Structure 1
Amino acid sequence: MPDVSVIIVNWNARDYLLKCLGSLRSGLGSLEAEVIVVDNASSDGSAAAVRERFPEARVLEQSENLGFARANNIGMRESSGEYLCLVNSDVVVLDGCLEALRKFLGSLPRAALAGPRVLNPDGSLQRTCRRFPSLPGSLLSAIGLDDRNYFSQEKTARVEALSGCLLMARRKAVDEIGMLDERFFFYAEDKDWCKRFHDAGYENWYCAEAEAIHYGGGSSALAPVRFYIEMQKANLGYWEKHSGAVARAAYLAIILFHQVLRFARSGALYIFKPAERRSAAHKARRSAACLKWLLTGENAA
């Protein structure tokens, strides 16, 4: 039986996926591991490419895009490792990363989840350790003052919520509190999982000794507006699940306020900074689509 089961969900991110799998060959170190790729009906030849170049990986092809949570759950059900490692397809696992996470979780019996130090491709640090969502924190984020929503990432520490781009979980804890909530198609399933572990008395840890690179947008770049709206839907679902309808309504008001601000800011940039017009127009379209969905329930592509 493998010690660690690595599960990668993919949707039309072939090149990122192959790079991710290549990094695992060295990133796993001496761990006994199995690698499972759950492909959400990609049309870019991802599954065939994995079978050809990484025959050691097990590919589970789906007939439709099931979303991130449901696809990961399929992989977890098919796995047998004592530890489960969920890795985004656009992540490069650096040498020793998974060994460090496995060793770290093994040393803390009440730790359910551990996440690594995550870097951008240019070597800068991604913010991956945040506090659980709160209405004051959401308002601060809306006006661009969200630093207080995040933990310091200078050293290993117990945190509240971790980014789902790379998470290692203790199977025993997962068996107790359950897998990812499949009501979250994309986004927020990671902080929901962290919250459920926390509420059950488990600990979530940031392990600075483990490192990975996250490119971001491997799949979401294919349909940025759609994914942005899905992100907002997921946030609203998180609030309703954990705080109730009143808190959800309050958060909805904050989102509306935030999107109006973003739209106005993008419009000002478009008018007064010609060099930034392309970026400003994209951001304005995204905010307009989100506002349309929030006010009418209609998605805008």
Structure 2
Amino acid sequence: MSLSIIILTYNSELCIQPCLESVLNECSSMQSEIIVVDNNSSDSTKEIIVKKFPTVKLIQNCTNQGVAKARNIGIQYSSGEYILILDDDVIVQNNSIKMLLNFIKNNENTGVVGPQLENPDGSIQYNGLEVPTFKNKLKRVLNKLLQLHRPNKYEKQILTKEAYQPGYLIGAVQLTKRSIFNRVGLLDEKIFYGPEDADFCMRVRASNFDIVCLPNARMTHSYQRRSYQITQLPTLFKHFKALLYFWKKHHITIFD
């Protein structure tokens, strides 16, 4: 099996069908497997998958295991040489998975590669970001609260569709190799909800591999669908706790 696609679901009945349809359409001529790990959804997510996508392998968790642990379950169950982590609200566009695969196969020093993400209205979504230091995180939060638009550090490369190396790629779409997981380890399960994606990218880079974003490969990500979740106090607390753990783990201070 060449490619394993790991999709995490949690009450995803509104988005999982178009996501899987786009993936199956893209991978129809590829040697691949699709593994969905469900974090104990209470809606019709599991029924949709079982009824409409019989070739998809469904793993059902009895409780919400969080992002890192659930994805690790899928990774450990998979058999592909290449592993694509995909959010359930991503729509794959024409040949984007193939473009990512071709890039990582032809660039041995690339450890993680991702496409340029777009919002449903076609506008650019910044998925290649600077490392979430205390200062960078504070600036992002203030920009959102004050509804300020500040240019992304990598805006020029995005507009010119030039491959660039961000601090990290958000976990909505990350393509890597099984050998990378074997070398740096799986996702850190001490991080329940963010920033497990940044932590993984930093460990990959520390092993002298590149993190690359390909702006000419495009996928649609309904990021706003998830934004409400982190505003809920229990999730917000877990996210803040995970940030403190992340900063301590990577020796990041408020002055960095």
Q: How high is the TM-score relative to the length of structure 1?
A: 0.76
* Aligned residue pairs, count: 247
- Give the partner amino acid of 1:104: F
Alignment of 1:1-301 (within 5 A): 2-28=1-27, 30-141=29-140, 143-144=142-143, 147=150, 150-152=153-155, 153-154=158-159, 155-218=162-225, 221=228, 224-226=231-233, 227-243=235-251, 247=253, 250=254
**Equivalent-residue separation in structure 2 for 1:36 and 1:216 (angstroms):** 21
**CA distance 1:49–1:212, shift in 2 (3 Å):** same
**CA distance 1:217–1:142, shift in 2 (3 Å):** closer
SS of the residue corresponding to residue 190 of structure 2 reads: coil
SS of the residue corresponding to residue 18 of structure 1 reads: helix
Question: Contact 1:7/1:72 (CA < 8 Å) preserved in 2?
Answer: yes
**Equivalent-residue separation in structure 1 for 2:149 and 2:196 (angstroms):** 21
Question: Contact 1:12/1:219 (CA < 8 Å) preserved in 2?
Answer: no
Gaps of 5+ in 2: none
Q: How high is the TM-score relative to the length of structure 2?
A: 0.89
- Give the partner amino acid of 1:228: L
Question: Contact 2:22/2:91 (CA < 8 Å) preserved in 1?
Answer: yes
Q: Deviations for 1:183-238, whole angstroms, at most 9, x for unmatched residues?
A: 11111000000100011111110012211111025456457323333332222221
Question: Contact 1:38/1:60 (CA < 8 Å) preserved in 2?
Answer: yes
**CA distance 1:57–1:139, shift in 2 (3 Å):** closer
Shift of 1:160: 2.2
**CA distance 1:68–1:158, shift in 2 (3 Å):** same
SS of the residue corresponding to residue 218 of structure 2 reads: strand
SS of the residue corresponding to residue 14 of structure 2 reads: helix
- Aligned residue for 1:269? none
Structure showing greater radius of gyration is: 1
- Give the partner amino acid of 1:172: S
**Equivalent-residue separation in structure 2 for 1:178 and 1:146 (angstroms):** 36
Q: Deviations for 1:83-141, whole angstroms, at most 9, x for unmatched residues?
A: 00010011111121111111110011011100101000000000111121334434544
SS of the residue corresponding to residue 179 of structure 1 reads: coil
Shift of 1:45: 2.1
Question: Contact 2:8/2:71 (CA < 8 Å) preserved in 1?
Answer: yes
Gaps of 5+ in 1: 252-301
Shift of 1:13: 1.1
Percent identity for Structure 1 against Structure 2: 28
**Equivalent-residue separation in structure 1 for 2:15 and 2:166 (angstroms):** 29
Give the number of the structure whose residues are more often helix, by fraction: 1
- Give the partner amino acid of 2:243: N
Q: Greater RCO between the two (CA within 8 Å, min separation 6)?
A: 2
- Give the partner amino acid of 2:250: H
SS of the residue corresponding to residue 122 of structure 2 reads: coil
**CA distance 1:151–1:29, shift in 2 (3 Å):** farther
Shift of 1:147: 4.5
**CA distance 1:110–1:7, shift in 2 (3 Å):** same
SS of the residue corresponding to residue 52 of structure 1 reads: helix
**Equivalent-residue separation in structure 2 for 1:65 and 1:135 (angstroms):** 28
SS of the residue corresponding to residue 243 of structure 1 reads: coil
Question: Contact 1:137/1:146 (CA < 8 Å) preserved in 2?
Answer: no
**CA distance 1:143–1:215, shift in 2 (3 Å):** closer
Bigger mean CA offset, 25-34 vs 162-171: 25-34
